[in-house]
Amino acid sequence: MKKILFLLVALSVAAFANDGDVANQTLKAYSMIAAGLGLGLAALGGAIGMGHTAAATIAGTARNPGLGAKLMTTMFIALAMIEAQVIYALVIALIALYANPYLG
């Protein structure tokens, strides 16, 4: 409970700051933290998804070696879609860092 209260007070600095420069600097700092955490979580989720996809493809090929080429093609399409989600998170993180509409 103390950690949540401390986090709430720390995050409210930007809302109650009188000086616009302090608020902008605080918002930039929080944007960097949010971009880093968001991209890290997206990469973690993508890595887990890619691991499951590769494991399922290997298991399917081991069960039926004749379908190996079809499974591999499907796996590459799935990996591209998973990686696209991580790239979207990267684009959003870059927008939050360099073209933040809240900085004015």
Q: Supply the pTM of this predicted model.
A: 0.71
CA 16 vs CA 3, 4, 13, 39: distances in Å: 20, 18, 5, 28
**Mind listing the pLDDT tens digit for each residue in 47-104?**
999 999 999 999 999 999 999 999 999 999 999 999 999 999 999 988 888 887 777 6
Query: Going from the N-terminus, what domains does the chain have, and what CATH number goes with each?
Result: 2-98 (1.20.20.10)
State which amino acid sits at residue 34. Answer: A
